[in-house]
Amino acid sequence: MMGRNQTSISEFLLLGLPIQPEQQNLFYALFLAMYLTTLLGNLLIIVLIRLDSQLHTPMYLFLSNLSFSDLCFSSVTIPKLLQNMQNQDPSIPYVDCLTQMYFFLFFGDLESFLLVAMAYDRYVAICFPLHYTAIMSPMLCLALVALSWVLTTFHAMLHTLLMARLCFCADNVVPHFFCDMSALLKLACSDTRVNELVIFITGGLILVIPFLLILGSYARIVSSILKVPSSKGICKAFSTCGSHLSVVSLFYGTLIGLYFCPSANSSTLKETVMAMMYTVVTPMLNPFIYSLRNRDMKGALGRIIHQKKTFLSL
């Protein structure tokens, strides 16, 4: 069995969420509303940044990519969850399962790198305001975005190929609402030590190091903020950093707890709840925390509405 490199099953069965039958319709409506909010919020951000020339800055370049990542990140898992809740068919083909896992890792990793780029952008803007334009040049910004996409592609492909080499025998029931990597590893009937070693090593590169870089950036930001004489400016800056750090902590905390030790014994319910936090809640909250509460975004929305009214009145 150790030498086999092909699965003996053609599909997996996703158990979904531990919801009572009489509560299915309620949770279906709730998840559908949250998913639509995520789509509309992030699409609005992308459209506003694209249409308003005043938002063509490094920060909003990263924000537009983050919104696209959030939109796709939720779309990888939630539509399948809603479909399973609607038609009561939990099956997913083997190839589709690996494809879902690939894109889940891809957009999750992409968000991780983009959060680092955003933290660095804020660090330069607050700590070196006079040199911001020179440091955050268009070339550097595009390079950071391109590097994020390239690294996430290789990382997601690595784990997908390693998963494809494993054997899955009789047990094909995934105790999750999507093809979670740690859940699939527990179903494998071949040696998973290589997979777990790669997860441990790359976990430090993809999750822990970016998380520490973000904390370091915000630590320097807080240090600079404390030197500002205006109490109003201090409160406003602390409020912004607190909002950013709350989402960063939610995103990284759940991911590190779930995937840094994939073989750790933990309850399925706890894993499912934590997964819902970063696949549904975080992408939905990001537009409100990062952009829709932002004065520049509100101004851009007002200008576009005014231009549309002016155009219609002609």
DSSP string, 232-282: HHHHHHHHHHHHHHHHHHHHHHHHHHHHSSTTS---HHHHHHHHHIIIIIH
**Strands of 173-174's sheet, edge to edge?**
91-93, 11-14, 173-174
Quote the Cα angle for 246-136-219, to 5°.
Answer: 35
Asked whether the beta carbons of 250 and 278 are under 8 A apart, the reply is yes
Q: What is the pLDDT of residues 215-243, one digit of tens each?
A: 888 888 878 777 766 666 666 566 556 66
pLDDT at 125: 84
- In order of their start, the domains of the chain are 24-297 (1.20.1070.10)
Where the chain has pLDDT below 70, the residues are 1-8, 228-244, 255-269, 290-294, 306, 308-314
pLDDT at 243: 63
pLDDT at 3: 42
Question: Distances from the Cα of 188 to the Cαs of 134, 170, 198, 233, 265, in angstroms?
Answer: 51, 10, 16, 54, 16
pLDDT at 74: 93
pLDDT at 1: 40
Q: What is the DSSP letter of 188?
A: B
pLDDT at 212: 87
Q: β-strands 91-93, 11-14: how paired? A: antiparallel
Q: Return the axis-axis angle of helices 231-259 and 94-127, rounded to nearest 10°.
A: 150
pLDDT at 263: 46
pLDDT at 7: 46
